[in-house]
Amino acid sequence: MGESSRAAVVLVGLAVVAGGWLGARDRPAPPPTARMPPPATAPAAPATTIRVHVGGWVASPGVVTVPEGSLVADAIVAAGGMRPGARADAINLAAPVSDGAQVIVPGPGTGADTGASPDGGGGGPISINRATATDLEALPGVGPVLAARIVSFRDQNGPFQTVEDLLQVPGIGEAKLAAIRDLITVP
């Protein structure tokens, strides 16, 4: 290729580049496209949880964490489920639980046992192995806190073998036991 041919090719190339640049400069800009942001997903609200104390005849008594709106049954499952012999019929498994609630699963011979009333019927001695916390509050010097401790101790450790076993419950000493000894029994 001669020098004049090369010059012609360069001039044609420059003309193409200049034409493209001028054409692009004079062309109106394309209309802006509406960019839709991706759908905003609301951040999932953290599931609100509550803490429930589960005791008695369950595999792992203690404080469990369950979702808000849970039932007694859910709290018991979170505590490892009921132990064999647990009295599921003595509690309402469908009742809702709230934060700070306590669920006690009675074992055999505890709670409202069939056949005999917890207080022995007719004003006799109260069976400390069948009495509810409310029943125990009828005893002199036993308020709601101590009654709950007695029931919790019984549910966690099994039935009392003797009246003197009450001395193992925090808050019961010799004087308190002497005051209620004639009003309780361990059948």
| Interior angle at CA 135, CA 52 and CA 99, nearest 5 | 15
Task: Tell me the pLDDT of the chain (187 aa) as tens digits.
Answer: 677 777 767 667 777 766 666 666 666 666 666 566 666 665 555 679 999 998 888 899 889 999 999 999 999 999 999 988 888 888 889 888 888 888 888 877 654 443 333 444 445 688 999 889 888 888 888 889 999 999 999 999 999 999 999 999 999 999 999 989 888 988 7
Torsion over CA: 69, 73, 75, 80 (sign): negative
Report whether 168 contacts 153 (CB < 8 A). yes
Which run of H or E residues covers position 153?
A: helix 144-157
**Residue-level length of the chain:** 187
Nearest to 138 by CA among 119, 163, 111: 119
Nearest to 113 by CA among 102, 124, 128: 128
Report whether 75 contacts 103 (CB < 8 A). yes
d(CA 57, CA 120): 24
Question: What's the predicted TM-score (pTM) here?
Answer: 0.40
The pLDDT, as a whole number, for residue 162 is 93
The pLDDT, as a whole number, for residue 141 is 86
